[in-house]
Structure 1
Amino acid sequence: MSDDTDFPGKDSETRGPRGIQSVEVGGQLLIALAHQGRPLALKDLAREAGMTPAKAHPYLVSYIKLGLVEQEAGGGRYGLGPLALQLGLISLQQYEPVRLATPRIEELALSLGHTVAIAVWGNRGPTIVRVAEAPSPVHVSMRHGTVMSLRGTASGRLFAAFLPQAQVLEALRLNEAADGEPPSLSPAFERILAETRSVGLAQSRDGVVAGVSALAAPVFDDGGRMVLSLTAIGPSGNFELQETGLPARELKRVARELSRQLGWRDGGMTAQHP
């Protein structure tokens, strides 16, 4: 007698489409790595995925060959590999607000004479997904996939100002937790974030890189949630940071237009920050 599973139509309403069980089992390891956001030892990773280390290891060997997982040379911990990171970046790039904003940053780069980038919130914080280079030979290079500092960059400060604080603190934990101390927002940084929310722009001068300045404006969706930043960046010597300057005015104008395209109807920049 044939096994019932040979007939996809039978009990399809309860069973759903048939899959490959080994793929689903091994996929729990990738889900665990994505959830933790950091490399894990074999025993810890196996525990998070609900399996024994002996069962997890063959899956990890195959994932390493595919580039979905990589193993640290020193400690031997397992983390997401280059293919997994590339797939994540492609997913971010296909995000609908990014498609809408991409032609606009080309226009901004031409009109401002500065490099303009789109950043969205990735699993480790603000991540550059699109870059329009400045037309002049003097410009600042930015790479796709770069995770921006929350404290030291305009893009990072913008997300820190408009996203829920718990989300911001979790990103700080992943990127700054060297001594085991829980991350916190200093009073000075809180003042920067409050000003950012008030003005609707974030700025940085000589923050992460000396001689480099940037401005960033938020784009919101129909629920008032910040979905991306438009960031102009250039040499500090000829970059206007003033709210009345051309970069600030143009970034805010384009950000508002994109927000309205996404259904945003608020009269002013509103934050989801508690």
Structure 2
Amino acid sequence: MTEDLGRQAGAPVRSVDRALQVLDILARDGETTLGSLSRELGVHKSTVSRLVDVLARHDLVAVPDGVGGYRLGVGCLRLASATAGGLSVSAVAQSVCDELAADLDETCNVAILSERMAVNVCQAEGTTTIAMRNWIGQSTSPHATSNGKVLLAHLTDAELREVVVGRLPRFTARTIATRDELRRELAAIRTQGYAYAREEYEEGLQAVAAPIRDHTGRVVAALSAAGPVYRLSDAEFPRVRDAVIRAADEVSRRLGHRPSVAG
């Protein structure tokens, strides 16, 4: 009896799964045909046609009108708007920050860019006896912190000129102090996907950060792990960096980001 129920429930569940795959493919490719969907899903074109017909009735898929292929419909915009409106970066990131801090036993922060400053909106502490101070709500000059440099790296040239004005204040001997040096650093961050800060804001403080993206792919925040030099040494940076990148990617996923698929 249980097996019969399982078989009866299996087909609708598979249909839902395939319908969601259709939406993911359209989100990735922008536009495609029934034939392409059929090949990627590994099902007959008639099955795909029935799926997109149902999705189209709910405005989740736009049917081609003479030319072009199937696209996401306006119903997706309504869903995205309702979801995005209820997603706070700090609320979504907190549990991920907590797990990262516990894993690394270091202080982890999430920062956004506001009023030309990097503002910390989320923090979690490790269990180490010598811990960092509370950074939530604190503003820091973005050129001198790992979080801030990640945020600056993903601005347009025009936005960067609006944010970075006047001279770059020097906090330590290692602080970036010229625009040329900052531009080179930001270009490297965009390429490698993370930022380091080696005693650039405070003597003895090291940090690494990675970008957080929203459902549009835009960088909306940065997640960092920071600690004293004797704990977060150069030898430890690769391990910490990889953990921070994974955590930032997880927050991005929870905000609706789907990385593009190559090939």
Same structural fold, with TM-score higher than 0.5 when normalized by the shorter chain: yes
SS at 1:151's partner residue? Answer: helix
Relative to structure 1, is the Cα distance of residues 241 and 169 closer, same or farther in structure 2, using a 3 angstrom cutoff? farther
Q: What whole-Å deviation, never above 9, does each CA across 1:62-105 have from its counterpart, x for those lacking one?
A: xxxxxxxxxxxxxxxxxxxxxxxxxxxxxxxx962221101111
How many positions carry a matched residue from both structures? 169
Q: Aligned-pair distance for 1:133?
A: 1.8
Distance 1:142 1:165 in 2: 32
Matched, 1:227 2:216: no
Selected match of 1:127 from 119, 128, 153: 119
Relative to structure 1, is the Cα distance of residues 240 and 95 closer, same or farther in structure 2, using a 3 angstrom cutoff? farther
Partner of 1:248 in structure 2?
Answer: 241
Selected match of 1:141 from 114, 126, 133: 133
Partner of 2:106 in structure 1?
Answer: 114
Q: What whole-Å deviation, never above 9, does each CA across 1:149-205 have from its counterpart, x for those lacking one?
A: 22111111111101223223222238969xxxxxx9722211111111111101111
With normalisation by structure 1, the TM-score equals 0.56
TM-align CA RMSD: 2.6
Percentage identity across paired residues of the two chains: 28
SS at 2:140's partner residue? Answer: coil
Selected match of 1:162 from 140, 154, 158: 154
Stretches (4+) displaced over 4 A: 174-177, 240-244
Distance 2:235 2:253 in 1: 25
Relative to structure 1, is the Cα distance of residues 135 and 149 closer, same or farther in structure 2, using a 3 angstrom cutoff? same
Partner of 2:195 in structure 1?
Answer: 202
With normalisation by structure 2, the TM-score equals 0.58
The unaligned stretches of length 5 or more in structure 2 are: 1-85, 170-176
State the one-letter code of the partner of 2:124: A
Relative to structure 1, is the Cα distance of residues 104 and 175 closer, same or farther in structure 2, using a 3 angstrom cutoff? farther
Partner of 1:18 in structure 2?
Answer: none
SS at 1:228's partner residue? Answer: strand
The unaligned stretches of length 5 or more in structure 1 are: 1-93, 178-183, 269-274
Contact 2:111 2:148 in 1 (8 A): no
